[in-house]
Amino acid sequence: MQSLGLDVLFKGTNFLRLLEGLWVSVRISLISVVISILLGLVAGVLMTSKNIVLKAAFRVYLEIVRIMPQMVLLFIVYFGTTRVFGWNLDAEASAVIVFVFWGVAEMGDLVRGALISIPKIQYESAEALGLTKQQTYLYVILPQTVRRLIPLSINLVTRMIKTTSLVLMIGIVEVLKVGQQIIEANRRTSPNAAFGVFAVVFLLYFLICWPVSRLAGYLEKRWAA
């Protein structure tokens, strides 16, 4: 096993530290995902609005998010705002802001897509039964939208979890950073640790994302209409 460099994991509290790092990653993604989904639902409904100004604003927002690398956004929010506005955001808060900024745009776009994919006649047959606009959304449109949305948004969630590895660039000690630290500390005694530790980090990401992605597959099958 020496050659794979896995031994360092069992030295001291190394493995525990990795798990703690993993928790930081998961915590940042979890908070970001929850806020993104909630705000994304609102954004998506607004994106279907016929208001030209609103539409244009969301268009620009979505393009910015798509074009701008998340890392640049992280730097702007974490380093940039401190200099210009004197905000002293802590790193985790900056990370959540960036991920939410990204997540709301993408989630909103998914919601918009799901909403417009519901045929107009579904609204009409609900209204023909005497349902009010709100009841139509609540009982007929949103449940169908959510069914279409969940597999797509889970895909977004796994992407967000993976992308949290970027936050080490603004000094957050998450799972990848812990891995690096362990490798650095053991450079002399276990030069091969780079392989073993990163492989384990890879495995940890896999263990988090795989069940989430399986859930998407399961729901997709169950709700296939």
Partner 1 sequence: MAESQVNVSERADGKPLLSIRHLHKEFDGKVILKDFSLDVKKGEVIVIIGPSGCGKSTLLRCTNALEDIQGGEILIEGQPIRKDAKNASQMRQKIGMVFQSYDLFPHKSIMENILLAPLKVQKRKREEAGKEALELLDRVGLADRKDDYPRQLSGGQKQRIAIVRALIMHPEILLLDEITAALDPEMVHEVLEVVLGLARSGSTMLIVTHEMAFAKAIANRVIFMEKGEVVEESSDPKAFFERPETERGREFLRSFEY
Binding region for partner 1 (CB under 8 A): 119, 121-122, 124-132, 135, 139-140, 143-144, 147, 223, 225
Distance of closest approach, residue 152 Cβ to partner 1, in angstroms: 17
CB 136 within 8 A of CB 127: yes
When the beta carbons of 1 and 128 are compared against partner 1, the nearer one is 128
Query: Dihedrals φ, ψ of 129, to 5°?
Result: -85, 0
- Least distance CB 116 / partner 1 (angstroms): 17
Angle between helix 52-67 and 91-116 (nearest 10): 130
Question: Tokens representing 83?
Answer: 């200099």
* HSE-up (13 A, CA, CB side) for residue 67: 6
- Which CB sits closer to partner 1, 122 or 189? 122
Query: What is the rounded distance in angstroms from the CA atom of residue 196 to the CA atom of residue 15?
Result: 12
Residue closer to partner 1 (CB basis): 51 or 125:
125
**How far is residue 112's CA from residue 148's CA, in Å, rounded to a whole number?**
11
* 148 or 177: CB nearest partner 1: 148
Measuring CA to CA, which residue among 13, 2, 24, 39 is closest to residue 153?
39
In three-state secondary structure terms, 89 is coil
Cβ atoms of 100 and 35 within 8 Å: the answer is yes
Closest CB 153 distance from partner 1, rounded Å: 17
| CB of 126 or CB of 168, closer to partner 1 | 126
Output the smallest distance, CB 115 to partner 1, in A.
15
Least gap, CB of 214 to partner 1 (angstroms): 22
Rounded Cα gap, residues 66 and 49, in angstroms = 21
Sign for the CA dihedral angle at 141, 106, 210, 93 comes to: negative
Least Å from the CB of residue 157 to partner 1: 22
135 or 165, CB closer to partner 1? Answer: 135
